[in-house]
Chain A
Amino acid sequence: MKNSVAAIFAATACVAGKAASDDVPAPDFEMGNIPTVITPTRLRQSIMDVPASVSIITAEDIRRYGIRSIPEAFRLVPGMEVNEATGGQYKINYHGSNIRSPRRMNVLVDGISVYRPGFSEIFWSQLPIALQDIERIEVTRGPNSASYGPNSMMAVINIITKHPGDLERGSASATWGSNGLYQLHGQVARLFGSTAASLAVSSEGDHGYDWSSQREADHDSARTKRISFKSDTKLDESSSFQFQAAYVKGITEMPFTSEFESFPDIRIEDWYLGATWTKQVSPDHDFHLRFTHSNHEAKQEWTACFPRVTYLPELYALWRSNPNYANAVLAGQRPSGGSAQDDALALQAIAAVRRLGATALTPLCGTGNANRVEKRTDFEFQDTYVVSPSLRVVAGFGIREQTAESETYLGGKASNRLYRVLGNAEFKPTPGVSLNIGGYGENDDVVGWTFAPRAAMNIQMSSTQSLRAVISKGLRTPDVQEQRGNISYTLRANTPGPDGSLTPRFYQSASASGNLKPEEALSTELGYTYINQPRGVLVDARIFREKLTNLISETVEVTDFNLTNNNSVLLYGLDLQTTYEVSPTLHSFLNYTYLLNKGATVLLERSQYSRHAGALGMSKTFGNGWGLSAAYYGASGNGVGEASYGRLDFVASRNWRIGNNRLEASFVVSRLNNKSTSYLAREGSVYESRFDERMKVFGRLKVAF
């Protein structure tokens, strides 16, 4: 026991016993022997020891800089490429590359992946949480498959929501502004014995852009409603149980369509469940068991009126054998040069077309769909053991079952079971030196065994400076559609099709070859961290080289479904993030990335690329409750077909205390450098979306009680 007065306090508490609690209004000793709460296993690594570059966005940053959506918050992360292609449709990649299919980054909300397993999508506008629910966002920049597994190929975004025990008893907020933006959010939190619980509801949406190039229409609004519940129960002094559930419903309007179809808007309905039991065996040893399940339903239906001839079964069969033959027959030509089977099928198709006669070109109308249901069930065990002050080990294993179902994309249902093990060790052989060595192995039904290792060394040169060298491998395993895709469009027809059926199939179809390997990123970085505490300065800089190979760059389309691992690209450059706390009331930050994209084997791997990107901001609070901030976000937009981005925000805010209640109001004026945005939809085709005005205004009111 420490030779201190406090030690005596603690001990005397036990002695004082009843007399103290009865007789003394505020006994000094009543806390007794205080257990270690912030145990060695729970301690976060210092920025000096972290084996990666990490950016943290706090709730305070979000409030201070008037950030209006979760994707927009990522503009604060150096190297994160953020493009809002159409309203609510964000294309986000760390260090860019392929804007068409941004799927090389893992996104977790309180440990539950929101990365859809079947089609590698993230619906950014329909995440299960609202901006107001966020405590902080931790972004591990660079491959982190060694800790989080495949899909954590370029970065991991870990969104951590507010703990129910930390929340105010209740709050309500409303935000409104340009482009029809509205956000309504309400939350209550209560304590029930040893359980802290919170419930949040929100509704939000906007009109999106004012103009879209594809149909020259304004049809890209997004609307979302969600409800989420979270609880944390202290079972006893050493264990706790966390439970979370969320339900999301939303619609994203899609401006893309053809002259034969209506807009294929996506209606999503998702729910998430998570349960975690954490046991503290000792201050140096804890483990958790986590079970999560998520169900993602995307309903995408449209009215289609293609000529009856395109639904001929004979034409469908011919396309399966030789697409060029099918197109030739439709164009009224007699195809040649194919196999004998092609020729035979072509004859059957031509005969069928002739049988239709004049009705061949009359429209057959009905409802097409790209509906899909994806499910993920995951079980995880993870153990953290601080063997000694110089050795800390994290190890675990898990099983995941994921299924995807889609009549259109998969021809039914496909599933995949994955087994994984992970291990990471932080070893400090001498003071000032940290070694982090780890790896992640996964066995996937489709791909087989994969392994992603990482090794890092942090050397503290002085109390204020450290160097970091990291080499790591990141993986993205092909999704269910890429491996087992079987695309065909079945029409729910209003009248019988050419074969007499009410569910005729469109003649075009495609199937996956099923022999894809994981995409790989081999990353090396040299980082430098500097903390100048007296001046409130923190600098984290790194130079990096990321070699991306085995890339599946091709787009998944029914007319061109030929995925390969043939592509690669080299990314290298410099990331810099700095914060400068000039005084307790004056904060500033500067983030910058210089990126070079070299050797892309296809244009798409160079379609999201900003050689210069960054953000700069300053925020001042005043004693009377007023606050002012300004921030600029920019990206040079050097990608193929990619527009540059620049935005200047001014935020004025005011807080009032009314009794025990708190009222906050803020007003944001935002100016865009460029009213339009554009991206490469496929080689040779650039889509553009545009606002009518550069200037935007937003207002927000919040009451907390």
Chain B
Amino acid sequence: MLGKTASKSVRLRRRIVAQSMLFGTLLSAKGAKGALPGTEVRALISGSTEPVRPFIEAFGLRQRNFYYDSNLRNLVARRGSAIYLALGPVSLSTLLEANVDGPIVSVFVASQTYKQMLSGATANRTKQITGVFAECSPDSQLELAYALFQRRISVGVLLSSITAGSENLIRQAAQKHNIELTTHVVSANANPVRELNRLADVTAILAIPDAMIFNSQTLRGLLESTYRRGQGIIGFSTSMVMAGTLATAYAAVDDVAAQVDEVVQFIGRERIPESQYPYYWRVEVNKQVARSLNIIVSDGVLALGSRPKAR
């Protein structure tokens, strides 16, 4: 795995160090926040560094004692105690299988995938694992839905056996945000696009990451079908918004980096926290789709969410 990737890694590392030096005053001013004495934060990446480079750069500015590699052996060979970051589900899977010595923080893994992957792990092992989910919480998404329509609306959700367990969480969020919720559990052999018929009378659809519902085979059909019916889809990533959903709450790289940093700090100071949805998030709206659905997007909608404090 050394060679090109490794040399790229080295170059990147040098850059981060240089940036750390550049912002040294700021990081020092944050005091111990930027440092975990004796504990190194080690990130495992899968394949190329390119996709995760923005995160590595953002996180590197917050954590000086940070090392990353795409080779697990290089990570575990390093001396001293460590907190491991699993960047993506493949990395998480690798770290789980390797049974590394130290807490693992999952990053960029959706909640349902995370839960499924941990379902096979022992109780003792799971105590050592936490994560910041890839997608924003139903609470954030439904807060956005209410803000977009500026009134009590009906929202429908398609669930599968994978996500049926989330129904209560979604219901609580709907109640909190004054949303009328309709859920429908799609059976394993059913076509999710056809199942939208069960949600024909709702104003909007909440999309949650669920490979049985939203996958490369169904996405086009789901988007086209809801658009034909004049229903907007809320969630669950900015790529989805670019594809044609109405809007989403999402965590930007800086938001994720800040939250992961806080999780790491918390682990260093106290204990391993529960896995969590992003609590720093912002809003992406497909304004063209909104306009064609006759939805007026107020400035307040775009200002929703919360941002991390400046470093």
Supposing A36-B243, A533-B150 touch, asked if A8 and B296 sit within 8 A by C-beta, the answer is: no
B180 at the interface (CB under 8 A from A): yes
The answer to whether B228 touches A11 (Cβ under 8 A) is no
Inter-subunit contact A6/B294 (CB<8 Å): no
User: Closest CB of chain B to A386's CB: distance in Å?
Assistant: 10
- Does A281 count as interface, using CB distance less than 8 angstroms? no
- Residues A25 and B117 in contact, CB atoms below 8 Å apart: yes
Q: Which stretch in A13-21, A218-226, A372-380, A448-456 binds the other chain?
A: A13-21
Q: Are A535 and B151 in contact (CB under 8 A)?
A: yes
- Bound-state CA distance A10–B51 (Å) is 8
How far is A189 from B250 in the complex, measured between Cα atoms in Å?
Answer: 36
List, in ascending order, chain A residues with CB within 8 A of B113's CB: 24-28
Chain B residue with the shortest CB-CB distance to A662: B198
Quote the shortest CB–CB distance from B140 to chain A (angstroms): 13
Q: Does A692 contact B (CB under 8 A)?
A: no
Asked whether A15 lies within 8 Å of B47 as measured between CB atoms, the reply is yes
Q: A5-B256, A9-B108, A535-B151 are in contact. Are A47 and B116 (CB under 8 A)?
A: no
Q: Mark B184-223, 1 if CB is under 8 A from A, else 0.
A: 0001001101101110111100000111101110011101
B241 to chain A, nearest CB (A): 8
Nearest-CB residue, chain B, relative to A25: B116
- Asked if A135 and B228 make an inter-chain contact with CB atoms under 8 angstroms apart, the answer reads yes
Take A5-B253, A704-B197 as given contacts and tell me if A35 and B108 are in contact as well, using a CB distance cutoff of 8 Å. no
Q: Are B51 and A11 in contact (CB under 8 A)?
A: yes
Which of A16, A40, A45 is B90 in contact with, Cβ under 8 Å?
A16
Listed stretches B8-16, B18-26, B232-240; interface member: B232-240
A121-135 residues with Cβ-Cβ distance < 8 A to B are 135
Q: With A12-B46, A16-B47, A165-B221 given, is the CB distance from A534 to B197 under 8 Å?
A: no
Q: Which residues of A contact B221 (CB under 8 A)?
A: 165
Report if A620 contacts B (CB, 8 A). Answer: no
A661 to chain B, nearest CB (A): 11
Taking the closest CB of chain A, its distance from the CB of B178, in whole angstroms, is 10
B93 and A19 within 8 A (CB): yes
A residues within 8 A CB of B108?
Answer: 5, 8-9, 12, 28
Judging by beta carbons under 8 Å apart, are B216 and A32 in contact? yes
Residue B268, interface by CB 8 Å: no
Contact with B along A614-644 (1 / 0, CB 8 A): 0000000100000000000000000000000
Q: A536 — nearest CB in chain B belongs to which residue?
A: B151
Beyond A16-B88, A60-B201, A166-B228, is A533–B243 a contact (Cβ under 8 Å)? Answer: no
The answer to whether A30 has its CB under 8 Å from any CB of chain B is yes
Q: Does B95 contact A (CB under 8 A)?
A: no
Inter-chain contacts of A167 with B (CB < 8 A): 194, 197
In contact, A20 and B296 (Cβ under 8 angstroms) = no
Please report the C-alpha to C-alpha distance between residue A680 and residue B153 in the assembled complex, in whole angstroms. Answer: 48
Interface SS, B side? mixed
**CB-defined contacts of A36 to chain B, threshold 8 Å:** 242-244
Is A163 an interface residue, CB under 8 A from the partner? Answer: yes
Contact, CB under 8 Å: A9 / B237 = yes
- Once the chains bind, are A7 and B238 in contact (CB under 8 Å)? yes
B contact residues around A49 at 8 Å (CB): 291
Q: Does B289 contact A (CB under 8 A)?
A: yes
Q: Taking the complex as formed, is B152 at the interface, i.e. its CB lies under 8 A from any CB of chain A?
A: yes
Out of A3, A15, A191, A538, name the residue touching B46 (CB < 8 Å).
Answer: A15
Question: What is the CB-to-nearest-CB distance from A23 to chain B, in angstroms, rounded to a whole number?
Answer: 5
Judging by beta carbons under 8 Å apart, are A34 and B194 in contact?
no
Contact B289 A38 (CB under 8 A): yes
Cβ-based interface call for B252 (8 A): yes
**B122 is an interface residue with CB less than 8 A from chain A:** no
**Are A3 and B203 neighbours in the complex by a CB distance under 8 Å?**
no
B194 touches A31 (CB 8 A): no
Q: A4 contacts B197, CB within 8 Å? A: no
Interface 1/0s, chain A 29-69, versus B by CB < 8 A?
11111111111101111111100000000111000000000
Report the minimum CB–CB distance from B156 to chain A (whole Å): 11
Since A36-B244, A47-B294 are in contact, a sample of 19 more A-B pairs with Cβ atoms closer than 8 Å, ordered by chain A residue number, is: A4-B238, A5-B255, A5-B278, A8-B55, A15-B50, A16-B46, A23-B93, A29-B89, A35-B220, A35-B243, A38-B244, A42-B227, A135-B228, A166-B193, A166-B225, A534-B150, A584-B154, A662-B198, A704-B197
Q: Which 6 A-B pairs have CB atoms at the shortest separation, nearest pair first? A: A38-B244, A6-B237, A11-B51, A584-B154, A15-B47, A6-B238
Mark B residues whose CB is within 8 Å of A.
Answer: 46-48, 50-52, 54-55, 87-90, 93, 108-110, 112-113, 116-117, 134-135, 149-154, 162, 180, 187, 190-191, 193-194, 196-198, 200-203, 209-212, 214-216, 219-221, 223-225, 227-230, 237-240, 242-244, 248, 250-256, 278, 284, 286, 288-289, 291-292, 294-296, 298
